[in-house]
Amino acid sequence: MSEPIRITDVAPRDGLQNEPKPIPTSEKIKLIRSLCEASVDEVEVSSFVSAKWIPQLGDAAEVFAALAADPKHLERRPVFSALVPNEKGMLAAAEVNHNAAERILDKVSVFTAASETFSQRNTNATIDQTIERFAPVIAAASRDRLLVRAYISCIVACPFEGPIAPAKVADVIRRLATLQDHGPIHEIDLGDTIGAAAPETIAAVLEAAGEEMNRSLPSAVITLHLHDTFGRAGACVETALDLGIRSFDSAAGGLGGCPYASTPGKRAPGNIATSLLVEIARKRGFETGIEPRKLAIAGSLAQSLRSAL
């Protein structure tokens, strides 16, 4: 049997967070259901962040409540996750499960960066302050037996600071590892926020990150989160597979982009399309479990939600 890779579709979160026009909650639910039908391993459903910062995802609780109310979907569903920046977000995320007949949120994702400027712009906090904010989140996640993912953005370059050294990424992993006193961190998600990576730069950062993980977070896995600005994300996936990475984020329809990575006149780039990731994995002999025809339906649906700019 061929070796599996894990695919987390982030279209409902990263894909939609930057959309300027309000998208009805019912449309988001349709997209998430189509991803469930396509058999992706995980879906990043939404974010429990400030609606002033990300208005598009202000309905996170409603989206989860609607998913929880549909028993048909509880029979066979992917892991559902959501972004959580601080204790307030964690309280809202925990409510989702407390209000549901059966658990519907499985994983919370905290997020920081390897660039101080990006961290400030994205979360109004230094990298150290973001990590301090995560302590009560991780403690609560551990109490509720939720999985924890920790994102690091700008692993190759920052839209404001330019190139980022791999050593900076390793240093953030080391600082995140100190949070293990509060509870487990299961996954480090490395984000090439603006799609600046090429095979050589992604290899350098994966090697530096892997060494630090062996030292300070040996039980966590690395996930790679690529944006595809220059059409190099596919080549970066190939390099990552060669280096043993088996967990990837992608977005149906290639949607995506962080509003706080946008610069004047230039919208933040989309995530690698899930269809491209599946195609590369298949050609390399990896198993994804994804149904291509159903994924194509999800991709079309995702693109139909994108406003013409």
Where on the chain is the footprint of Mg ion (CB under 5 A)?
Answer: 14
Query: Closest approach of Cβ 158 to Mg ion, in Å?
Result: 13
- Residues 84 and 137: beta-carbon distance below 8 Å: yes
Token pair for 178: 């100190």
Nearer to Mg ion, 122 or 288 (CB): 122
Q: Which of 151, 145, 294 minimizes the C-alpha distance to 227?
A: 151
CB of 65 to Mg ion, least distance (A): 25
Q: How far is the CB of 100 from Mg ion (least distance, A)?
A: 27
Residues 49, 148, 278, 298: which binds ligand HMG (CB under 6 A)?
49
Question: If binding is defined by CB under 6 A, does position 119 make contact with ligand HMG?
Answer: no
Nearest-5° Cα angle at 142, 141 to 143? 90
Count Cβ neighbours within 10 Å for each residue of 263-302 and write b for 16 or more, e otherwise.
eeeeebbbbbbbbbbbebbeeeeeebebeeebbeebbebb
- Give the residue from 220, 229, 236, 230 showing the smallest Cα distance to 277: 236
Q: Which residues are part of the catalytic machinery? A: 258
Q: Name the residue whose CB lies closest to ligand HMG.
A: 191
Check if the beta carbon of residue 105 is closer than 8 Å to that of residue 96. Answer: yes
Site for ligand HMG in 173-232 (CB under 6 A): 191, 193, 225, 227
Site for ligand HMG contains 254 (CB under 6 A): no
Number of neighbours of residue 256 by Cβ within 10 angstroms: 30
Nearest CB to ligand HMG, comparing residues 44 and 73 = 44
Determine contact, residues 269/27, Cβ cutoff 8 Å. no
Give the chain's radius of gyration (CA, Å). Answer: 18
Residue from 47, 247, 274, 288 binding ligand HMG (CB under 6 A): 47
Q: Which stretch binds ligand HMG (CB under 6 A): 81-89, 136-144, 162-170, 292-300?
A: 81-89
Which does residue 174 touch among ligand HMG, Mg ion, none (CB within 5 to 8 A, set by kind)?
A: none
Site map 139..178 versus ligand HMG, x via CB under 6 A:
------------x-x-------------------------
271 and 229 in contact (C-beta within 8 Å)? no
Binder of ligand HMG out of 7, 15, 48, 217 (CB under 6 A): 48
- Is 111 an interacting residue with respect to ligand HMG (CB under 6 A)? yes
Identified binder of ligand HMG from the candidate list 12, 78, 85, 269, rule CB under 6 A? 85
Among 39, 53, 210, 234, binds ligand HMG (CB under 6 A): 53
Cβ distance to ligand HMG smaller for residue 53 or 286: 53
For ligand HMG, the binding residues (CB under 6 A) are 14, 17, 47-50, 53-54, 83, 85-86, 88-89, 111, 122-124, 151, 153, 191, 193, 225, 227, 258, 260
